[in-house]
Amino acid sequence: MKRLEEIELMLISELQSNISNIENLDSDLEYYNEILGDSSFLLGGLLDVLLKPDNDWDSKKWIDDSLLTRIKSEGNKLSISGIMIWGIENITEQWTDPFYFEVKLKENKPDFDEYTFLFCDLDKSEISYEDFSMNRNYWNPTERNWKYIINQKNPTPSSAKSPDLA
């Protein structure tokens, strides 16, 4: 498994190399996965690493991928909303939950100042991927009561990182 810093760098590099695809869009898309390259599964990998130390997150759960449903780029700030797809070890069924990711990028560098990762709605239970595939509107944008609120600032490279779970 990759370390947190490695996944962050891979994700930020991927987002920065594809940001022009977002800015040059003519219309809204249902999913933005294709235009953002590997960002969808890198977001999943990042969230997986961030949740591992949380006692409330079952250690047998794993994040598979994500569907990117909304993207907004404003100055050095990029926000992504979507659906995270996750599973449990030794079970083939998968489930879905909403997420929101916002990052403040550093200009002309594959780096960031800070990011926020929001995941799971306390007021609306996860649903299986199978049920979600039959009702793609289940997670339509709405105000959420987020279960996991992770704020991460970019420390100096030599310091150890641990996510700030609110």
What tens digit of pLDDT does each residue of 4-40 get? 999 999 999 999 888 888 777 777 788 999 999 999 9
- The more confidently predicted of residues 113 and 165 is 113
Residue carrying the six token digits 């560098």? 109
Q: Is 31 helix (H, G, I), strand (E, B) or coil?
A: coil
Amino acid at 40: S
Q: Where are the alpha helices (DSSP H) in 24-137?
A: 39-51, 129-134
- Residue 130 neighbours by CB under 8 Å, 6+ apart: 93
Amino acid at 74: E
CB atoms within 10 A of CB 23: 7
